[in-house]
Copies of this chain bind each other. A is one copy, B any other.
Amino acid sequence: MPAKTTKPPRRTLTLRDVSEASGVSEMTVSRVLRNRGDVSTATREKVQAAAKELGYVPNKIAGALASQRVNLVAVIIPSLSNMVFPEVMTGISEVLDETQLQPVVGVTNYKPEREEKVLYEMLSWRPSGVIIAGLEHSDASKKMLAASGIPVVEIMDTDGEAIDAVVGLSHRRAGRKTAEAILKAGYRRIGFLGTKMPLDHRARKRFEGFTEALAKAGVEIADREFYEGGSALAKGREMTQAMLTRTPDLDFLYYSNDMIGAGGLLYCLDKGLDVPGKIGLAGFNGVELLDGLSRKLTTMDACRTEIGREAARIIAQSAEANTDNAGGVRVELNPKLEPGQTLRLR
User: A residues within 8 Å of B by Cβ?
Assistant: 7, 9-13, 54-55, 57-62, 64-65, 68, 70, 80-81, 86-87, 89-90, 93, 102, 104-105, 107, 120-121, 123-126, 143-144, 146-149, 230-237, 259, 262-263, 266, 270, 288-294, 322, 324
A137 CB → nearest B CB, Å:
14
Are B124 and A60 neighbours in the complex by a CB distance under 8 Å? yes
Q: How far is the CA of A341 from the CA of B13 in the complex (A)?
A: 56
Are B104 and A289 neighbours in the complex by a CB distance under 8 Å? no
When A10-B149, A124-B59 are in contact, do A234 and B291 touch as well, CB less than 8 Å? yes
Within 8 Å by CB of A65, from B12, B62, B233, B324, lies: B62
Residue of B with least CB distance to A233: B292
Can you show 12 pairs from A to B with CB atoms below 8 A apart? A12-B147, A54-B147, A55-B144, A60-B124, A60-B126, A61-B65, A80-B86, A81-B90, A231-B292, A233-B289, A233-B290, A266-B293
Q: How far is the CA of A234 from the CA of B292 in the complex (A)?
A: 4
Copies of this chain in its oligomeric complex: 2
Are B59 and A126 neighbours in the complex by a CB distance under 8 Å? yes
Are B60 and A125 neighbours in the complex by a CB distance under 8 Å? yes
Are B70 and A80 neighbours in the complex by a CB distance under 8 Å? no
Are B123 and A10 neighbours in the complex by a CB distance under 8 Å? no
Are A61 and B70 neighbours in the complex by a CB distance under 8 Å? yes
Q: How far is the CA of A266 from the CA of B324 in the complex (A)?
A: 52
Within 8 Å by CB of A266, from B93, B147, B237, B294, lies: B294
A64 CB → nearest B CB, Å:
5
New contact pairs (6) apart from A55-B146, A65-B65, A81-B87, CB-CB < 8 Å: A55-B144, A55-B147, A60-B121, A61-B64, A237-B292, A263-B292
Residue of B with least CB distance to A231: B291
When A9-B68, A65-B65, A104-B104 are in contact, do A291 and B126 touch as well, CB less than 8 Å? no
> Which B residues are CB-close (under 8 A) to A86?
80-81, 86
3 nearest A-B pairs in the assembled complex, by CB-CB distance: A233-B292, A234-B292, A55-B147
Are B10 and A324 neighbours in the complex by a CB distance under 8 Å? yes
Q: How far is the CA of A147 from the CA of B233 in the complex (A)?
A: 45
> Which B residues are CB-close (under 8 A) to A13?
147
Q: How far is the CA of A206 from the CA of B243 in the complex (A)?
A: 42
Q: How far is the CA of A54 from the CA of B245 in the complex (A)?
A: 57
A40 CB → nearest B CB, Å:
25
A92 CB → nearest B CB, Å:
11
Are B125 and A289 neighbours in the complex by a CB distance under 8 Å? no
Q: How far is the CA of A333 from the CA of B233 in the complex (A)?
A: 28
A128 CB → nearest B CB, Å:
11
> Which B residues are CB-close (under 8 A) to A90?
81
> Which B residues are CB-close (under 8 A) to A87?
81
Among A120, A121, A148, A233, find the residue whose CB has the most chain B CB atoms closer than 10 A.
A233
Q: How far is the CA of A48 from the CA of B227 in the complex (A)?
A: 41
Q: How far is the CA of A61 from the CA of B69 in the complex (A)?
A: 10
Are A124 and B57 neighbours in the complex by a CB distance under 8 Å? yes
When A143-B55, A266-B294, A322-B7 are in contact, do A125 and B61 touch as well, CB less than 8 Å? yes
Are B149 and A235 neighbours in the complex by a CB distance under 8 Å? no
> Which B residues are CB-close (under 8 A) to A62?
65
